Structure 1
Amino acid sequence: MDDRILIRPYTPSDIDATIDIFLRAIREVSSKDYSPAEIEAWARVEDRSRWAERRISRPAWIAEFDRKPVGFSDLTGDGCLDMMFVHPEFQRFGIASLLLSRVEDEALRLGFGRIYTEASRTARPFFERKGFRVVTRQIVEKRGQALENFLMEKFYG
């Protein structure tokens, strides 16, 4: 493991970093898999306080590279890996794998036998490599756009 990468708990002061990572990952990475209209509908954070509440209401982690936030993930109370995004400049550094490992450790600690996610077209291959299987293809409505994603799950134990 690269000792410049640290996975640590999310703190309220991470709000701006997580929003930036989220928006840039969608606009610069997922744009290869979604249309410009779909990206415009998806890549928005209209309510910062709601964003902050969601991050702090559940186990969430920040990936830092040389002490700079470069990724984040979380886990809801029902075993959903709700968000996992990595800054475009830090793709292929193993950051998503480290975040997923932390999420899985927490899921096991909480006694979950399964975790699931709603993976974008962009993220689907990553999750498949990590042992998740597609349950179903979904269409999610975002600001008048129909975005495709995939309900995926992985069982433990």
Structure 2
Amino acid sequence: MVIRKYRKGEELELMEIFISSVHKNAKPYYNEKQLVAWAPSDMDFDLWVTRIGGINPFVAIDNGVILGYADLQDNGYIDHFFVRGGQSNKGIGKALMTHIIHQAQIRGIPELTSDVSLAAEGFFEKFGFCIIKKKRVLIRGVELHNALMRRQLVD
């Protein structure tokens, strides 16, 4: 598996990963109404392209196929962290998180934070993240639960 920066033109594939990740990987944690609000099938592609360009994520590729993506902002915030639906527990997330932690250390970022779904809390905890605050958020008028999580990299 190779981890590299995303390239312009990969936005549609990243959108497909996002939607499949939410609808398959998070399905045990959220009801159908919540999943559709979080990742609707009719997402605005132009807004998505702008969003992906703004977060400039890393992608995990195996045999020429993008299997997941995640970003690291300059302030240590991880905005997106998604693995293709049905591809959980295959080392993709681990490879991405290991890469993000390494990049943060290289950049001298003292801590990582992320608003993490119920589906991802356990995964983030395995990498030393702790829950700072449980939250309820409104997405397209539908309430979802998540948590702000943090991992200190520098004491």
TM band (smaller chain): over 0.9
Provide structure 2 residue ranges, at least 5 long, that are not aligned to the other structure.
none
Cα offset, 1:153, TM superposition? 0.3
Greater mean alpha carbon deviation, residues 134-143 or residues 43-52: 43-52
Matches within 5 A, 1:88-107: 88-107=85-104
TM-score normalized by structure 1?
A: 0.92
Distance in 2 separating the partners of 1:104 and 1:51: 25
Task: Name 1:86's counterpart in structure 2.
Answer: 83
Provide structure 1 residue ranges, at least 5 long, that are not aligned to the other structure.
none
Alignment-mate amino acid for residue 118 of structure 2? R
Greater mean alpha carbon deviation, residues 60-69 or residues 100-109: 100-109
Cα offset, 1:59, TM superposition? 4.2
Question: Kindly, what percent of the aligned residue pairs are identical?
Answer: 25
| Number of residue pairs aligned between Structure 1 and Structure 2 | 153
Task: Name 2:72's counterpart in structure 1.
Answer: 75
Match of 2:21 among 21, 25, 30: 25
Distance in 2 separating the partners of 1:48 and 1:77: 25
Distance in 1 separating the partners of 2:94 and 2:21: 16
Is contact 2:76–2:104 with CA below 8 Å preserved after alignment? yes
Is contact 2:60–2:68 with CA below 8 Å preserved after alignment? yes
Alignment-mate amino acid for residue 52 of structure 1? V
Distance in 2 separating the partners of 1:132 and 1:148: 17
Displacement over 6 Å in runs of 4+: none
Greater mean alpha carbon deviation, residues 59-68 or residues 116-125: 59-68
Matched, 1:13 2:6: no
Distance in 1 separating the partners of 2:108 and 2:47: 28
Superposed CA RMSD: 1.3
Greater mean alpha carbon deviation, residues 84-93 or residues 136-145: 84-93
Distance in 1 separating the partners of 2:126 and 2:20: 24
Match of 1:133 among 130, 141, 150: 130
